[in-house]
Structure 1
Amino acid sequence: MLFEKKYLSWLFIFFGLVFALDNFNVLRLHWALYIILAGLLFLLVYFLKRELTFFLLPGVMLTVYGFLFMYCALSQWQNMSLLWPVLFLAPGLGFMLLYFLQKRETYFLVPGGLLLLFGLLFFLRRLTVIKYWPLLLMGIGIALLIRHHVTKT
C-alpha cells in the first residue's frame, strides 16, 4: 500500500492533540500556526518516506503560506499588497523541489519554473527597468504561434 495507515493515524493524533490543547486553553496558537504545522507535518511525512512524493508539494505550499499569513496578520495585513506574489512562488518552489528531489521529470520543472518566474516578475514589476516585461511575454507567445503555424504547414 502506497500510503500506510500509520501516517494517517499520526496525522489525526497530532492534530487532535493540538486542537484539544487549544480548545481547553492549555495552548493558544495563532491560526496561521496551524497552517505552518500542517505544512511541516506533510514535509516530515515526505522526508520519512520518500516515495510519498505527493506530500511534498502541499507541505511546501502550506508552510510558505503559513509564514506569509502569520507575517501579514502580525503586520495588520498592510504588506499583503506587496507580498501577494508569494502565492505564485510557493507552488513554484514545491514543483522545483519535486523536480530536484525526485527523478528530474520535466512535468515538475515546467510549472515550477513558470510559477517562480511569474512570482519574481510580479515582485520586480515595480522597478522601472522591468516594467516592459509583459512585452517579452507577448513576444514569446507570438513566436510560439508562428513556430506552431510554420511546423503545421
Structure 2
Amino acid sequence: MRIWKIIKTPPMPWARHPQDLFTLKNGMAAIGSNGFTLIEALIALMVLSVGLLSIAVMQIDAIHGNSQGSHVTEATSLIEKKLEGYKSLDYEDVKDEQGNEDIYQWVTTVQENTPVNSLKTVTVKVTWASGTRSHSLSFGTIIAK
C-alpha cells in the first residue's frame, strides 16, 4: 500500500492488485505498462492514413491549379504579344488572322468602324486543351486611324 500513499490515487475497481496497474521499470513507476492493443494500433494507423490521404489529394489539386495558372499566363502573354504587334502596324494592315504556337491556337477578329467610324476593334482569342477539357481566353483593344 505504500504506492497508493505516494501517488495518492484510490485503487481502480478492475485492478485486483496494485501490481496490475504499477510496475517498476528502471526504478520508475509506469502506469498501464502493458502497451497498446492491436485494435488501438490499427485505429491510430487508420486515422493517420486518412490524414495523409487528405494531404495527398490537396497536393494533387495544387499541382493541377499551378498547371492551369501556367497555361493562363502563357495564353495572356501570347495575346499581349499579338495585340502589341497589331498596334505597331498601319491601320489598313490590321486584318483577321489565325495561327498556332505550341499548344495554343489563336484567332484574331477585326471589326471595322466599331465602336465609331475610323476605329477598329481587335479581339484575340487563344484556346488550348488541357486533358479532356478545352480552355480559352480573349482580350481586345481598339485601334485608331
> Aligning the two structures, in what range does the TM-score lie when normalised by the shorter sequence?
under 0.3
TM-score by length of 1: 0.26
**Going by fraction, where is helix more abundant, 1 or 2?**
1
TM-score by length of 2: 0.27
